[in-house]
Structure 1
Amino acid sequence: MNEAERKGPSVRVAVLAHARRMAAQEEAASVQDAAPGFTAQVQPPAAHSATASPGFRASVKRRLRPIAGAAYRALKPVLRPIAFRLRAYFSAPLQAQMQGADHAAHARHQHLLQELQTLRNEVAQSVQRQRDEQALIGFEMLQELQLARDSLERTIISAQPEPTHLQASRDQLERIERYAFASARRVAVGGEPGEVLVRTSVGYLLCAASDYPLLATLIDVGELEAGTRQLIQRLVRPGETFVDIGANVGMHTLAAASAMQGRGRIVAFEPHPVTHGLLRKSLMLNGFTALAETHQAAVSNHTGRMPLHLGSTSGHHSLYPLEGEQPAASTVEVPLLRLDDTIAADLPVDLIKIDVEGAELDVLDGAAATIGRNHDIALIVEFGFSHLRRTGHSTQDWLLAFEKFGFAFQAIEPSTGTLLDWNAAQLESVDSINLLFARPASKAWERARGHA
């Protein structure tokens, strides 16, 4: 400790100063004894110690050491309590301040822990209430279905139908029971502001809280396009590549990811910024982040930016003006990408899903190189006759664009995913339907029918 830091008396300094004075007096006395009549000039202790010989300094130290030790032992009982009291006096305010800060920090920590525990309890109670309600509804549904099944079986048996008819009826009843069990397990809970988490057939999906048509569908049946989802899971195998153009909240993206069993690659495109954010969160929640890369962009035949026209639900947004749209309808500007610019030339692509509300031929034009170098590739594309009217294409021209790549098509049955032989007139008779396109020798046909 230096002089500036010393806060009280120092025993060491006092003893050293006393020793120096005694040494000086002894030296002066020895000089007078050695030369009577000669008056010695006593130097100050500091100057004398600087000019004294080493032998003399050692002699002085030997003589002073017992004196200093005796003085220290004599003064220690007196000075030590004084030093402790002085230290306690000067350090008391600092210790009090530190203790006060510790108490305040501890109190804040305890308060935060209490708030956190309260929040956890509230969330747990809310989830449990919803689960209890879902379980009660599911149990009541199962009871009613069981009664209906028993009554129907008695009616069938009493009528004595053909065995094939009886088996078909039993299959229908089992299917109804499976849907009832699924409904009983379904959960929807609020997430961050503006978000709702829904448990579906392929995992947990985050949806916009204001997208009522989407939420109603997911909570009611737990699916979006059940037949297409089942077909994707039959077509995609571990280690393959799936491209989802118009991924929306990610129902089909999650379906493909679950079929890959941790091995493969997904490239998903969703232009709407809010929906794209929900898609990324859903992939993370279900543990598929490592499999998928996402792009907040629309896929077209050129790059740049365009307004995205917003529909009544996230699955109806389109680069083309919507039917009945008013001049002041909502739009948001989004970036455009070409698939050929995004997919590496050495990446094999096995399945592409295209759901772009009228921009299908633009996507096809910008993906010509990718489709051309993957001979076994399959495409699932939404056909909507109303979309063709908005974009100025005929059904024949639309189908011809796919035939130029050597593709044949079949319609996808909406609930089961089985393939249907439809013609152009049948396509135009429905609002929309998904089609499977593949070259005649593609492995996709056997997989789609469950034979591979």
Structure 2
Amino acid sequence: MKDLLLQDVAHDCAVNRFGFYCVPEAFQHTEVAKKLRRGEVNEPRTLELISRMVGEGDVISGGSFIGDFLPPLSSFLVPGARVHSFEPNPDAFDAASQVIALNALLNVDLHPVAVGKEEAVLPFQNMRRSGKAMGGLSKIVEEHIEGQTVEVPVTRLDDLIDAGRKISVLQLDIEGQEWPALQGAQGIITRNMPMIVVESLETTEARVDEDKLAELAPDAGYKFMGKMERNSFFLPLAARGL
């Protein structure tokens, strides 16, 4: 983690009811950054639901972007439980690391990787053609684009997180890579049957994901429960005796 020099970033700092944040200049145009700088919480209803569903388990949440979810998720956990997060964008990873330090989040593990179906090194687009940072819209792409992409390591969630951890919630917002990430978490999903939360802009996408989850974890009985704040929610009905 880079040394945190508050005098260098004070004008980019923000606070809400969960804690403190540092917003790099390159990301201040993003929706998340604007909310934080107004003292607001990003996706508060999603976070409130996660707080009620996490129980005694861990939360997987990624990509972390600038760490806006990390302080609230950390506060929801019982002693001994952990937040597992990841962020392949180097600048966003540094910002999220600063959030962990500012708030002394001792139960958060942050990894500088992308997650997917299998281990790889892939091009990750974090800059627009104009030279402006893409922020939370950064994503894995098929080919390298000079000046716009960087090479990032990709790993499976099954390899990133110890198989002995109890996972209660799996939340993903990774710009179209949610399904490969779920495929790479098949072991976690079949063992733990967590509530799954994924960003999906269309309800039709969620219906397709429900069918895919039925194949990925047939014993869990995942059911699409609806959408809120651009997120789709899936519950494992078998884990609830339904």
The offset of 1:223, in angstroms, is: 2.0
The offset of 1:409, in angstroms, is: 1.6
Aligned partner (choices 258, 269, 273) of residue 75 of structure 2: 258
The offset of 1:191, in angstroms, is: 4.7
Distance 1:413 1:201 in 2: 21
Distance 1:302 1:233 in 2: 30
Distance 1:340 1:225 in 2: 27
1:224 aligned partner = 42
8 Å contact kept, 2:15–2:39: no
8 Å contact kept, 2:9–2:22: no
Matches within 5 A, 1:65-104: none
Q: Give the 3 Å change call, closer, same or farther, for CA 209–243 of structure 1 in structure 2.
A: same
1:177 aligned partner = none
Report whether the alignment pairs 1:315 with 2:136: yes
Amino acid at match of 1:330: Q
2:224 aligned partner = 409
Matches within 5 A, 1:254-403: 254-260=71-77, 262-288=79-105, 290-310=106-126, 312-320=133-141, 330-375=148-193, 377-385=194-202, 396-403=207-214
Aligned partner (choices 197, 200, 210) of residue 16 of structure 2: 200
The offset of 1:329, in angstroms, is: 6.1
Report whether the alignment pairs 1:440 with 2:237: yes
The offset of 1:220, in angstroms, is: 3.0
TM norm structure 2: 0.81
Distance 1:247 1:384 in 2: 19
The offset of 1:240, in angstroms, is: 2.1
8 Å contact kept, 2:157–2:185: yes
8 Å contact kept, 2:23–2:66: yes
User: Which structure 2 residue ranges, 5 or more long, are not aligned?
Assistant: 1-5, 128-132
Q: Give the 3 Å change call, closer, same or farther, for CA 203–442 of structure 1 in structure 2.
A: farther
8 Å contact kept, 2:63–2:86: yes
SS in 2 for 1:301: coil
Indicate the percent of aligned positions where both proteins have the same amino acid.
23
Distance 2:227 2:188 in 1: 24
Deviations 1:92-117 (A, max 9, x none): xxxxxxxxxxxxxxxxxxxxxxxxxx
Give 1 or 2: higher strand fraction.
2
2:130 aligned partner = none
RMSD: 2.8
Structure 1 ranges of 4+ moved more than 3 A: 394-399
Structure index of larger Rg = 1
Distance 1:235 1:399 in 2: 19
SS in 1 for 2:200: strand
User: Which structure 1 residue ranges, 5 or more long, are not aligned?
Assistant: 1-189, 322-326, 389-393, 415-432, 446-452
Deviations 1:365-386 (A, max 9, x none): 11111111113x111111134x
The offset of 1:271, in angstroms, is: 0.8
Q: Give the 3 Å change call, closer, same or farther, for CA 413–275 of structure 1 in structure 2.
A: same
The offset of 1:236, in angstroms, is: 2.3
The offset of 1:203, in angstroms, is: 0.7
Q: Which has the higher contact order (CA 8 A, sep 6+)?
A: 2
